[in-house]
């Protein structure tokens, strides 16, 4: 099949976010897009699970911010946001909490009034805490009955070690011992100006900018939350027995580096070739040729202080060893045989197209801006990353595969019946 000509743009111009440092030291970034009658404001706090001292305190704090404040109950806050068609969202990764508010521009004052209550004056009611903890404990118990979850947690432990903040898995029973004092302490320690920046996108005039700044300036001072992490302790082969499983969940990968590394984008190309799209090598092999699975994915994963390659799939128990052999074989083929130019062109087109899709709108640009800020760069890196993708050659892909995908360096985790 003849692929269409390479359509990666020669350059992408994304305006740099306007940065203003507030009196409390917080940075306020704005990305005006005044053709859109919407506004989104995202407060990014270094308040993910990797910095918590008490198990589950990070996620509990973030998810209870809107469950009651000094002025409003949880229901009153929800009704207020719903009335104006506003949107409130909480997301966490291993390192950060992302608290977002989105609204039609004409209702920005009312929405930001609710935002100020949620961010500055949460009270973490005891009854809401106990309800949340009971639900999350039950949810965790159910999730850990799934072979895929068992494999995901075991893979993190295998990469980093069971005591590393990126590898640790807590017993759900610890939700029972989490107290309101624990949550309040986490909030006071981590929801501070030193651990936060804010990004606004959409229709932004001086009025919106001043209104957001008025909230951000009230976020109190505190210590920078960046505890020391132990060195990763990697285990290369792990089997997790899951009685009664009819499928095996497989994870293969290795610790590498974060987005700031010069080979990160190149390894994204390698991962995409292996399992980054429907026609990728592993999909063609495991699904189309052998029928072992419905899907397989490969990707580079970035944390604040680490990055890794991960390949993930689920196969029937009886096909486990055969599937492992095929995955290893595809990795080795990438190391020993240069990619066909036509295949590499397709991978480049898919990656560039996905990047363009993400950048199609002010909120997508804001998300990418946040990633870039967290990586210590700015939006000029978008064009640089596209250039790196555009100039990748089959020899570059092979060189990276040879350097980073040595069989002995790979971590393999299999969860299933008797660990196979």
pLDDT in tens, 386-409: 999 999 999 999 999 999 999 999
Tell me the Cα Rg of the chain.
Answer: 23
Picking from 241, 257, 247, the residue whose alpha carbon sits closest to that of residue 159 is 257
Name the residue range of residue 346's domain: 237-419
258 and 201 co-located in one domain: no
Question: Mind listing the pLDDT tens digit for each residue in 261-291?
Answer: 999 999 999 999 999 999 999 999 999 999 9
Please, what's the b/e burial string for 43-72 (b: 16 or more CB within 10 A of its CB; e: otherwise)?
bbbbbbbbbbebbbbbbbbbebbbbbbeeb
Sheet holding 296-302, edge to edge: 237-241, 411-416, 247-255, 307-316, 296-302
d(CA 140, CA 383): 41
Task: Using the predicted structure, report yes or no on whether residue 10 has a pLDDT greater than 70.
Answer: no
DSSP label at residue 176 = G
Question: Mind listing the pLDDT tens digit for each residue in 66-81?
Answer: 999 999 999 999 999 9
198 and 242 co-located in one domain: no
Burial class (CB in 10 A: 0-12, 13-18, 19+), 171: exposed
Domain C-terminal end among 181, 216, 251: 216
In a domain, 413, yes or no: yes
Number of domains, the chain:
2
Contact yes or no for 198/83 (Cβ under 8 A): no
List the alpha helices (DSSP H) in 30-175. Answer: 57-64, 74-83, 108-120, 126-143, 147-160
Task: Using the predicted structure, report yes or no on whether residue 11 has a pLDDT greater than 80.
Answer: no
The reported pTM is 0.94
d(CA 352, CA 340): 18
Residue with tokens 């305190």: 57
206 and 269 co-located in one domain: no
Res 242: pLDDT: 87
171 and 211 co-located in one domain: yes
d(CA 123, CA 118): 9
211 and 267 co-located in one domain: no
- Please give the share of the chain, as a percent, with pLDDT higher than 70: 97
Question: Mind listing the pLDDT tens digit for each residue in 206-246?
Answer: 999 999 999 999 999 988 878 899 999 999 999 999 888 89
211 and 242 co-located in one domain: no
Spell out the residues 6+ positions from residue 257 whose beta carbon is closer than 8 angstroms to its own. Answer: 263, 264, 306, 307
In a domain, 223, yes or no: no
Domain C-terminal end among 183, 216, 249: 216
Q: Are strands 296-302 and 38-45 parallel, antiparallel or unpaired?
A: unpaired
Res 226: pLDDT: 80
Region of 46 please: left (phi>0), alpha (psi -120 to 50) or beta. beta
In a domain, 228, yes or no: no
In a domain, 117, yes or no: yes
280 and 409 co-located in one domain: yes
In a domain, 226, yes or no: no
Residue with tokens 């946040």: 370
Mean per-residue pLDDT, 172-186: 98
199 and 276 co-located in one domain: no
319 and 207 co-located in one domain: no
Task: Using the predicted structure, report yes or no on whether residue 27 has a pLDDT greater than 60.
Answer: yes
In a domain, 3, yes or no: no
Task: Using the predicted structure, report yes or no on whether residue 357 has a pLDDT greater than 90.
Answer: no
Res 358: pLDDT: 87
110 and 149 co-located in one domain: yes
DSSP label at residue 50 = G
In a domain, 196, yes or no: yes
Res 403: pLDDT: 98
155 and 253 co-located in one domain: no
146 and 46 co-located in one domain: yes
Sheet holding 27-32, edge to edge: 18-21, 27-32, 196-202, 38-45, 97-104, 87-92
CATH number at residue 168: 3.30.830.10
Mean per-residue pLDDT, 110-125: 97
Q: Are strands 411-416 and 27-32 parallel, antiparallel or unpaired?
A: unpaired
Q: Residue 44: helix, strand or coil by DSSP?
A: strand
List the alpha helices (DSSP H) in 87-144. Answer: 108-120, 126-143
In a domain, 395, yes or no: yes
Contact yes or no for 276/329 (Cβ under 8 A): no
């Amino acid at each position: 099949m003849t692929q269409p000509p390479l359509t990666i743009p020669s350059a992408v111009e994304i305006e740099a976010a306007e940065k203003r440092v507030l009196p409390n030291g917080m940075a306020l970034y704005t990305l005006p897009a005044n053709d859109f009658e919407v506004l989104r404001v995202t407060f990014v706090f270094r308040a993910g699970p990797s910095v918590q001292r008490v198990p589950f305190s990070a996620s509990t704090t973030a998810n209870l911010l809107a469950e009651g404040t000094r002025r409003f109950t949880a229901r009153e806050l929800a009704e207020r946001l719903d009335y104006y068609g506003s949107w409130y969202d909480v997301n966490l990764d291993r390192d950060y909490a992302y608290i977002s508010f989105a609204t039609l521009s004409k209702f920005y004052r009312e929405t930001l009034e609710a935002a100020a209550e949620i961010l500055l004056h949460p009270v973490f009611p005891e009854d809401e805490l106990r309800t949340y903890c009971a639900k999350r404990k039950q949810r965790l118990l159910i999730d850990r009955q799934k072979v895929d979850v068992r494999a995901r947690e075991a893979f993190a432990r295998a990469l980093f070690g069971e005591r590393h903040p990126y590898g640790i898995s807590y017993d759900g029973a610890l939700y029972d011992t989490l107290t309101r004092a624990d949550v309040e302490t986490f909030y006071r320690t981590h929801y501070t100006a030193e651990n936060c920046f804010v990004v606004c996108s959409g229709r932004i005039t001086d009025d919106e900018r001043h209104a957001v700044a008025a909230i951000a300036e009230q976020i109190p001072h505190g210590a920078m939350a960046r505890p020391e992490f132990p060195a990763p302790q990697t285990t290369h082969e792990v089997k997790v027995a899951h009685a009664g499983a009819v499928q095996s969940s497989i994870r293969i990968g290795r610790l590498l580096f974060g987005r700031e590394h010069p080979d990160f984008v190149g390894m994204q190309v390698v991962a995409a070739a292996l399992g980054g799209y429907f026609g990728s090598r592993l999909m063609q092999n495991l699904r189309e040729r052998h029928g072992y699975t419905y899907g397989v994915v490969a990707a580079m994963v970035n944390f604040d202080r680490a990055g890794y390659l991960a390949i993930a799939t689920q196969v029937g128990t009886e096909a486990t060893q055969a599937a492992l052999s095929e995955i290893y074989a595809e990795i080795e083929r990438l190391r020993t045989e240069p990619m066909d130019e036509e295949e590499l062109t397709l991978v480049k087109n898919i990656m560039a197209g996905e990047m363009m899709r993400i950048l199609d709108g002010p909120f997508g640009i804001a998300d990418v801006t946040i990633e870039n800020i967290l990586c210590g760069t700015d939006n000029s890196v978008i064009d640089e990353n596209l250039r790196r993708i555009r100039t990748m050659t089959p020899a570059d892909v092979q060189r990276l595969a040879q350097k980073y995908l040595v069989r002995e360096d790979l971590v393999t985790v299999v969860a299933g019946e008797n660990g196979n």
